[in-house]
Structure 1
């Protein structure tokens, strides 16, 4: 099982990384977090790893931010990362986006700015080059807490 860390991400310089969902601290995530989504016909939950009730380690929060999970069909004691039609996988994009539309910078945005700086550099001409977005593909299933 590979746990994504900031150092591993910085060293790999790949555009897509695979990780086991069980390598993320989801200890505060529970079965009661799921709600039925009429549009998809599935039970889904948004896991916010940087702020909110499911906050976990800072490193997991910086790397994964928010993950959308869905209950496993036929076994409601397990969940998996929801399928992304946009990327055609069970995955999420780490894209360094910051949402200033709320008129303030929240914890997630502060961490994203920090992550962008860590994964960026100044080129010889002095121009700031932002971090390269990368896809995180999630493998395996997660056994839910009650």
Structure 2
């Protein structure tokens, strides 16, 4: 079952988020901050999360925020995480489509998606190309 998460649903995503951050170099997952951040985003209406759940267990989700882009002011939706367990990878596209629909219904003119280079980069690049995305910039990060 795929559904739009409420503030009370946010803690259900902690295991998925922890697994996701395990593959990111130098990422220290802070569950308390994560829950508070997403609860604030949902309360404000600036964020959304869609969850994929089977037998009461969250096996995937997509979360994003919307904001007026700094250079043009165009309302833009940006995916902040997109995760599905291996056994439910087919739900990944369904989650994406829910997020894309939310973005359109919430006045967004642009949609930005990301992917980790260590997690199915060729498959995601092909998917984004098929969906009509253009590569705009690469994102690098370092610890200070």
Q: TM-score range by the shorter chain?
A: under 0.3
> Which protein shows a greater Rg?
1
Which structure dedicates a bigger proportion of its chain to helix?
2
| Greater relative contact order (Cα < 8 A, sep 6+) | 1
Higher strand share: 1
Q: Tell me the TM-score normalized by structure 2.
A: 0.26
- TM-score normalised by structure 1 residue count: 0.26
